Amino acid sequence: MAEQNSILNQTWTKVLYQRSTYPDNYTDPKFLEEIKRNVHFKPVDSRTAVLKSTRISTQISVTVIFWAVFLQLKEGNGSWELTYGMFSCLIVAAYVVSFRFNNILPVLKNVLLFIAVGYGCTPVLKTLTDTISTDSIYAMSVVLMLVHIGFHQYGMGGACVSPYVSLNAAICGAICLASRLQETRHAFALLALAVQAFALFPELYEALNHTPIAFTILTAGAFVCMVSISTVSASLFLISIFCVNIIFPLCFVWAQQYKNNIYGPWDEAMVFNR
């Protein structure tokens, strides 16, 4: 009788390798005392969320400017030279601000090499999609640009973040659009703009620590480009920028109150070497 009472009075311990009189699914009332909530959670305030969202809208503005230049080239609108020149001046200014002209000779060498090789290969690239219909080219270009924006690295890691996929999708979309231009020099100008917008600009934007000045200039430039195309497209652009920079960040900040990640004794065991 005494032995049975000692078994019943045995203290429950959270140890798997010891034999116990308690069932396998038994838990002590103190089991949940070790629960912790949102251990690694760092709340984001509204100002930070809005500022971080400008990185997304800036890349959207760059893509919109690229599309606007293509439409201007396609329609024979001479204003493409002004848009192209202003964007190139922005790239040069960013290079100067980021002190990347300390050694000017390698930069000039790469520029001249790109102009020579790029202009020589443009006729070949221009004929790659001759057998594909124009509607399919436009649809494929839209999908590729969306992939570029979706997979772009906005300063954070993730399963769907891949700067290589983003860049390749943008360049592939640029080649598809360039194949629908009549003149070789226009196709080369569009491909050169694609290199500036999708290869050089993101690197400079990171080096300049995502300055709000670039966001303001590019957003205003993209809006002006959309106005030159149609007022409807300009309105849709403003609505999308408003949602990306205001609505979505504020919704994210509001939804943080419902975050409830729990950590406790049921977590997987971790082995630490000491």
Q: How far apart are CA 261 and CA 64, in angstroms?
A: 39
Average of per-residue pLDDT across 36-55 = 86
Percentage with pLDDT > 90 across the chain: 20
**pLDDT reading at 199 higher than 70:** yes
**pLDDT reading at 186 higher than 90:** no
**What is the C-alpha R_g of the chain?**
28
Average of per-residue pLDDT across 238-249 = 93
- pLDDT at res. 103: 65
Average of per-residue pLDDT across 123-141 = 83
- pLDDT at res. 36: 81
| Number of C-beta neighbours around residue 177 at 10 A | 27
Average of per-residue pLDDT across 102-124 = 73
pTM for the model: 0.79
**pLDDT reading at 4 higher than 70:** no
**pLDDT reading at 72 higher than 60:** yes
**pLDDT reading at 77 higher than 90:** no
**By the 8 A CB rule, do 175 and 128 touch?**
yes
Average of per-residue pLDDT across 193-204 = 86
- pLDDT at res. 250: 93
Kindly indicate the confidence band of residue 241, based on its pLDDT and cuts at 50, 70 and 90. Answer: very high
Average of per-residue pLDDT across 71-100 = 82
129 vs 56, higher pLDDT: 56
- pLDDT at res. 25: 72
33 vs 188, higher pLDDT: 188
